Structure 1
Amino acid sequence: MKFFTLFIFFALYLFASNECVTCHKGIEDIRDKNSGMMKEIFKVAEKAGHKGNDCIVCHGGNPEAKTKEKAHAGTVEYFEFEKGPKEFYPAPGSSWINEHTCGMCHPQQVGAQMNSLMMTEQGKIQGAMWSFGGKEGYEHTAGTFDTKNPTNPDARLGTDIYKKYMQKLASMEPQVFPKANHELPNAPSVEEIHKDPSLAVYTYLRQECLRCHTGGKGRFKRGDFRGMGCSSCHIPYSNEGFYEGRDTNISKNPGHLLVHQIQSSRKVKVSVHDINYSGVPVETCSTCHNRGKRIGVSYQGLMETEYKSTFDAEGNE
């Protein structure tokens, strides 16, 4: 039986085709082919019996299908039993499935994401609830989703110095470091708010403040386009939400990544037309960090003024 399985995989290896790039001709490499990341991705593709096909390692799907509907469905047989995408993933960085994609190589980072403030929003939530009458007192127990902290502090991601610092901080401020978060209630009805106006905080949080947690995409409007999960920071989006790469089969409607490339460290280059940059630009941060303390726009040297009406193309109110 083992010999038969090896024979099947060897046959797939020899005859597998990559129809992904037949349709998506010209699409940018997600990373430079000579980078350590791409070398690891190609190793996984080869193990899966599809040498040279990096697409399936993150997106899944059927690389031999001739139609979009069949190509964008399922996954290759290897990933059904091994680490890898279990279905076709249009957005591989999403928090809800990235344990099968990014998590193959970055398990610690993916494992820590659910308890990060960018996911739980617990500080923002507690601050708002306090101003609406102290709905849960000083306790930071409400979050965007139900989450639990590791029972073993050493299981946390970070250096030994960082872990010791956080343990000390947690002992000093236990109300800020609960063992678990419960999911914030949904927005109440108008009738419920009439009976208890303080419940309006849940409407405020659900409809405005919490749209920026990394478990969901931004609002479908200018300046709010971004990815989910890992892609929130590591996939570039423009303010207008248009794809500007070389793949003619990616929709020209708004709501798409700027180019099919990962932005990360200063060593990693991203190319958009004739512009090259490295690192994660502050524009990515300000997609979310432009309210509250306005830290994203403050970092750019912009200062908030008293409220004025919107400006026209010439800068007039």
Structure 2
Amino acid sequence: MAGKPPRRLIAALVFIPFLFMLFVYLFYREERTQRPQQLAVTTAGYVEMCLNCHVDIHLDAAHDAKVVGCSPCHLGNALAIGKEKAHRGMVLNPGDLRVVEKTCGVEGCHPADPHKVKNSLMATNRGILSTLLYYWGERNSQNADITVEQLLKSGETSLALDYFRKLCATCHLWKRKNDMPDAPAFFNEKGGGCTACHSVPGKNGEKVDGDGKKKKPHPLIIKKIPEENCIRCHNRSGRIGISYTGIFESEGYGTPYEKGHLSSQRLPGNRFYLK
């Protein structure tokens, strides 16, 4: 009776084919992987592979992609070379108050500001909410401690809060940008946390990417807030924004006519104004 083959021989017969298959797999994956010709490095010395694809981003000097990169603001994986892995965990709007502590508010950027913004009246809407609840008979005083953030977390609703959501809730900083695809454009321009005030559209015009899709230029980050950003929200109720600029809302029939057409002087929502 022949003896059993030694264990080392059995191990080799199993291990060698496994190594061969592993080598074939790694070779195939490497052949399929499109690696950039060089590492993209910011002027601060950090590897930022995003810059191999996003080569045409023009921002102000303080936020320039070649200086700070993309990932400090948009998160994601700055060391990945594939689009899917690089964009995993990415945020489109770094100013969104849900993520701002990880983006704008990190140490070395604006660490003191997220707390201030989240407690501002433009984020809490505390005065609007407490007054509305009081006059609708749902609170005993106008000093109710209730904020938009609390409503988002609790899901609390009532007749007064439903009224707030329908008429007032598009003008607070917790609203996400572009979250109402079927609504008029000016609704989607509102909100966005820090970027509600501190961003304006890019100036380079739309471009077409490799997939044939239109691509808007990267928004510009600004320190000096233009009047248009304020008026985007402050144009109803007390109409503080339009009063500040010296105009007033007129009747909705669009006069005086301009060459037989309705007036071009319009507020968000196609409401007309006069100077």
Is TM (by shorter chain) over 0.5?
yes
Q: Is the 8 A contact 2:126 2:145 kept in 1?
A: yes
How far is 1:184 from its partner? 7.6
Match of residue 315 from structure 1: 262
Match of residue 62 from structure 1: 77
Q: 2:99 aligns with which of 97, 100, 104?
A: 97
> Counterpart of 1:261 in structure 2: which amino acid?
L
The question of 1:28 aligning with 2:43 is answered: no
Residue deviations 1:259-308 (CA, integer Å, cap 9, x gap): 432111xxxxxxxxxxxxxx2111011111111211112222111234x2
How far is 1:205 from its partner? 0.3
How far is 1:135 from its partner? 3.2
| Alpha-carbon spacing, 1:217–1:296, altered in 2? closer, same or farther (3 Å) | farther
Q: Is the 8 A contact 1:24 1:249 kept in 2?
A: no
Q: Give the paired residue count.
A: 210
The question of 1:286 aligning with 2:231 is answered: yes
Q: In 1, Cα distance between the equivalents of 2:197 and 2:170?
A: 15
- Show the 5 A alignment for 1:105-124: 105-124=109-128
Q: In 2, Cα distance between the equivalents of 1:119 and 1:28?
A: 29
TM normalised by structure 2 equals 0.63
Q: Specify the SS of the correspondent of 2:193.
A: coil
The structure whose Rg is larger is 2
Q: Specify the SS of the correspondent of 1:124.
A: helix
Q: In 2, Cα distance between the equivalents of 1:247 and 1:227?
A: 23
| Alpha-carbon spacing, 1:302–1:127, altered in 2? closer, same or farther (3 Å) | farther
Identity %, equivalent residues: 28
Match of residue 129 from structure 1: 133
How far is 1:309 from its partner? 4.7
The question of 1:205 aligning with 2:176 is answered: no
> Counterpart of 2:103 in structure 1: which amino acid?
T
Q: In 2, Cα distance between the equivalents of 1:134 and 1:64?
A: 53
| Alpha-carbon spacing, 1:184–1:208, altered in 2? closer, same or farther (3 Å) | farther
Q: In 2, Cα distance between the equivalents of 1:260 and 1:123?
A: 31
The question of 1:185 aligning with 2:156 is answered: yes
The question of 1:217 aligning with 2:198 is answered: no
Unaligned runs of 5+ in 2: 1-38, 264-271
- Show the 5 A alignment for 1:1-317: 18-29=48-59, 31-32=60-61, 35=62, 54-73=69-88, 87-104=89-106, 105-133=109-137, 135-146=139-150, 185-186=156-157, 188=158, 199=159, 201-217=160-176, 219=180, 220-224=183-187, 225-226=189-190, 228-237=192-201, 244-245=203-204, 248=207, 252=214, 259-264=218-223, 279-306=224-251, 308-309=252-253, 314-315=261-262
How far is 1:141 from its partner? 2.0
TM normalised by structure 1 equals 0.55
> Counterpart of 2:197 in structure 1: which amino acid?
C
> Counterpart of 2:52 in structure 1: which amino acid?
T
Q: Is the 8 A contact 1:103 1:109 kept in 2?
A: yes
Match of residue 33 from structure 2: none
Root mean square deviation of aligned Cα: 3.7
Q: Is the 8 A contact 2:123 2:172 kept in 1?
A: yes
Q: Is the 8 A contact 1:27 1:245 kept in 2?
A: no
Unaligned runs of 5+ in 1: 1-10, 43-51, 74-86, 148-181, 189-198, 238-242, 265-278
Q: Is the 8 A contact 1:143 1:183 kept in 2?
A: no
Q: In 1, Cα distance between the equivalents of 2:176 and 2:150?
A: 19
